Amino acid sequence: MSELRYDGQVVVVTGAGGGLGKQYALFFASRGASVVVNDLGGGLKGGGNSSRKTADIVVDEIKAAGGKAVANYDSVTNGDKIIETAIQNYGRIDILLNNAGILRDVSFKNMKDQDWDLIMDVHVKGSYKCARAAWPHFRKQKFGRVVNTASAAGLFGSFGQANYSAAKLAMVGFTETLAKEGAKYNIHANVIAPIAASRMTETVMPPDILAALKPDWIVPLVAVLVHKDSEENGAIFEAGGGHIAKLRWERSSGLLLKADDSYTPGAILKKWDSVSDFKTPEYPTGVADFMGLLEKSMEMGPNDK
Ligand code: NAD
């Protein structure tokens, strides 16, 4: 199979000064794309002294290898400026990788408003601002690819990460809606929950595990998802250490009762087991999937209270 190429395309990678973002930037530049390397060079917890250097180092590395790249040092909360860098330098934007991120880990008991707000700002508002600024360009050219970055912490919860978990699951709902709104314009959005060695994980995982989780190994999945020939849209993936899998919602067969005055706590309790009976599950993909159930309930007789 010939290698996937991105010639003539413009890729914006947020948080590309290190970790996963740097690997994305190097890869897409090596496969023919022009890359906007965004990073404000902040600390892991956000804030700290902004250093332009991290983005510059990546840009220099790309240029030394004969690739095309430009640095941008804005925070993702000013996503319009990042997209503007793509338009000013290359005249277009084709692929947006919303990757920038920080952590403010603290037990929920000790969490401060600032811990919550900063995480929401960088992950949720930052992803929104970049996608919102790219959107009119995507619609006009009838092509766009977005990959948003969630986390296992968002999908399953994680001790000390109530803020980060909330922001990361927000990426899933955000992506699902972009996928639905973008489909008819050939704009595809997918979301990944990566696991990789980076400054985010180096203090919480042992060295042998980290060695098996090179950030480079997230790149091939992202490369497939954003390729012009990819049909994938609105999907959730986990990836790390050579493993890739898709995740989806599963609904139990559930309890369906008549919704009238016989619909009481006692009526529910009598049949509680079927609420969490996953023997014959369904895999809903939209609100419409619920409406059939509603019609069935309306046709039923009164409940046993
Ligand atoms: P990293 O800390 O190495 O890289 C994140 C980059 O984002 C840094 O270079 C940082 O300077 C930049 N950044 C932070 N705030 C920014 C802002 N406001 N504007 C622009 N740039 C900003 O971390 P990483 O492991 O490469 O993480 C990349 C993404 O993957 C993050 O969204 C993270 O939450 C997510 N993630 C990582 C893992 C993992 O195992 N490494 C797991 C789950 C999710």
User: For residue range 64-107, what is the model confidence (pLDDT) as tens digits?
Assistant: 999 999 999 999 999 999 999 999 999 999 999 999 999 999 99
179 CB within 6 A, ligand 1:
no
The residues annotated as belonging to the active site are 164
Distance from C-alpha of 116 to C-alpha of 131, rounded to nearest angstrom: 22
193 Cα: distance to centroid of ligand 1 (angstroms): 12
Residue type (1 letter), 90 = Y
Distance (angstroms) between ligand 1 centre and the Cα of 277 equals: 38
CA of 273 to the centre of ligand 1 (A): 42
Q: Which atom of ligand 1 is nearest to the CA of 17?
A: 9
Residue with tokens 């917890």: 45
More confident residue, 207 or 49: 207
Say yes or no to pLDDT of 37 above 90: yes
Q: What percent of the chain has pLDDT over 70?
A: 98
41 close to ligand 1 (CB < 6 Angstrom) = yes
- What is the residue-averaged pLDDT of the chain? 94
CB atoms within 10 A of CB 173: 10
| pLDDT per residue as tens digits for the range 229-239 | 999 999 999 99
pLDDT of 152 higher than 70: yes
**Residue 241, pLDDT score:** 93
Nearest atom, ligand 1, residue 152 CA: 43
Atom of ligand 1 nearest to the CA of 44: 2
154 lines ligand 1 (CB under 6 A): no
For ligand 1, whether the C-beta of 201 sits within 6 Å is: yes
Is 293 a residue whose pLDDT tops 80?
no
| Token pair belonging to 264 | 């009481």
Q: Is the pLDDT of residue 288 over 60?
A: yes
Choose which residue among 27, 59, 72, 99 to substitute to test ligand 1 binding: the one with the highest number of ligand atoms within 8 A of its C-beta: 99
Q: Which residues of 255-270 are buried (b: 16+ CB within 10 A; e: fewer)?
A: eebbeeeeeeeebeee
Structure confidence by residue, pLDDT tens digits, 175-214: 999 999 999 999 999 999 999 998 888 888 899 999 999 9
Predicted pLDDT at 291: 77
From the CB of 105, is ligand 1 less than 6 Å away?
no
Check residue 202 and give its pLDDT.
86
Pocket mutation for ligand 1, best pick of 198, 203, 217, 237 (most atoms within 8 Å of C-beta)? 198
> Can you give the C-alpha Rg of the chain in angstroms?
22
Ligand 1 within 6 A of CB of 19 = yes
